[in-house]
Amino acid sequence: MHDTTLLLIELGAILFALGLLGRFSRRIGLSPIPLYLLAGLAFGHGGVLPMSASEEFIAVGAEIGVILLLVMLGLEYTARELIGNLRTNASAGLLDGLLTALPGLAFGLLVGWGGVAALVLAGITWVSSSGVIAKVLADLGRLGNRETPVMLSILVIEDLAMALYLPLLTAVLAGTGLIGGAKALTIAVGTVIVVLLVALKFGHAISAFISARDPEALLLGVLGLTLLVAGLAAKLQVSAAVGAFLVGIALSGPVAHHATELLSPLRDLFAAVFFVFFGLATNPGDMPPVLLPALALAVITMGTKILTGYLAAKRAGIAVPGRIRAGLGLMPRGEFSIVIAGLAVASPGIEPRLAPLATAYVLITVVSGPMLARLPDFAWFKAIIRRSQRPVPRAEPLPTTD
């Protein structure tokens, strides 16, 4: 059979299967990410249905998927929101980083996988999945809750922190050592600050340059600009993902709004391809030995995430039930952890058990996280909290940031 023909058949089969899985996940109220990862495991080397012809295409698609995930994340936030959040919630973000990244780092060092793998693990355990969490919040009708802004600002700061972490990681993975890492970090910090300032001052000019009126031109313009900047960023060793994120931040107003609508279906397609690709690269046979360590890591870092949410909500004057909701809600890790692991797996000389561990870790947190997030809604859970609290007069709710 001709190569292209085989490619079409394989790709079609994969996408069709993903479509069914997506529908299934919606029905059982779960994020489709774990199912996509499992599908990748099944289709990959050592899986039940190994595919070969489409692997190269999927690899490129996965790269585009990461870029689209990041540009959409950037489009969701405006520069003003990012700077405002950084100003008011920097300490919560710092606490979050310390509590959730350090266990990953320590784990990597303890099991002797080396500093680079430990750095990767720190990122994997650090970043919560803003996509999964936003959806859980909407599903549980908690968008109006008073702890929700606290959770969202932690997510925003994590995403912003990634703009610095990813270039650092890229440089370290490229083997440039500490000096190279420091250089990349300096470039990244400079770029992020410049982009934020430019977006704040001239965001409307940039957006006006790309007209929002013609959907076709807008789609091609935004996609082209994103890929171009991502490519240039990769060339400068600042990570393609970060370039895309910054393009998303720089765009604002109606252009951002329409671009979000237009890019969403593309993002869904290529992000699914990305998760499958990551699963493809992992041999299911490597999974069982890392399951227990992954579970341990998940339990520890989900615990520290609860603590993060609890303390951050407490600082914002939220009562105990809200603090617990914030903590439990922040647990799922998802797309970002896979992006980080994906970067690491692609570079030579990294610990081979990292990819299966990351897959297992994300599977555990992304499945159990949204389920555990529902706990505070149950009557028995509320009763336990009420009983554990001494009958103190209810604190007057503090005003949140205006």
Partner 1 sequence: MFDVRVRVEQTALPGIGVRHDLVTESGRRLGVVTHRTGRRDLVLYDEDDPDSCTASIPLNDDEAEALADVLGASLMLGQLSGLRQQAAGLLTEQISIPAGSRFVGRRLGDTKARTRTGASIVAVLRDGQVIVSPGPEFGFQAGDVVVVVGNRRGLDGVGQILADGDPDS
Number of residues that bind partner 1 (CB under 8 A): 34
In the region spanning residues 290 to 319, those forming contacts with partner 1, defined by CB under 8 A, are: 318-319
Q: Contact, 34 vs 362, CB < 8 A?
A: yes
Instruction: By CB under 8 A, name the one of 30, 134, 236, 269 that touches partner 1.
Output: 134
Q: How far apart are CA 330 and CA 134, in angstroms?
A: 10
User: Does the protein bind partner 1 through residue 267 (CB under 8 A)?
Assistant: no
Q: How far apart are CA 336 and CA 365, in angstroms?
A: 13
Task: For residue 368, give the amino acid letter.
Answer: S
Give phi and psi for 318, each to the nearest 5: -90, 145
Nearest distance from residue 194's CB to partner 1, in Å? 21
Q: Contact, 224 vs 247, CB < 8 A?
A: no
User: Does the protein bind partner 1 through residue 145 (CB under 8 A)?
Assistant: yes
Instruction: By CB under 8 A, name the one of 121, 155, 218, 298 that touches partner 1.
Output: 155
User: Does the protein bind partner 1 through residue 374 (CB under 8 A)?
Assistant: no
Inter-CA distances, 244 with 152, 182, 216, 240, 331, Å: 21, 21, 20, 6, 25
From 41-49, 211-219, 272-280, 391-399, span contacting partner 1 (CB under 8 A): 391-399
Give whichever of 141 and 265 is closer to partner 1, judged by the CB atom: 141
Angle at 162 between CA 156 and CA 163, to 5 degrees: 100
Return the DSSP state at 398: P
Give whichever of 65 and 322 is closer to partner 1, judged by the CB atom: 322
Give whichever of 179 and 402 is closer to partner 1, judged by the CB atom: 402
Give whichever of 130 and 308 is closer to partner 1, judged by the CB atom: 130
| Burial class for 110, CB neighbours closer than 10 Å (0-12, 13-18, 19+) | exposed
In the region spanning residues 39 to 98, those forming contacts with partner 1, defined by CB under 8 A, are: 76-77, 81-82, 84-85
User: Does the protein bind partner 1 through residue 215 (CB under 8 A)?
Assistant: no
In the region spanning residues 224 to 263, those forming contacts with partner 1, defined by CB under 8 A, are: 257
Dihedral sign computed on CA atoms, order 43, 48, 49, 53: positive
| Residue ranges binding partner 1 (CB under 8 A) | 76-77, 81-82, 84-85, 130, 134, 141-149, 152-153, 155-156, 257, 318-319, 321-322, 325, 382, 394, 397, 399-402
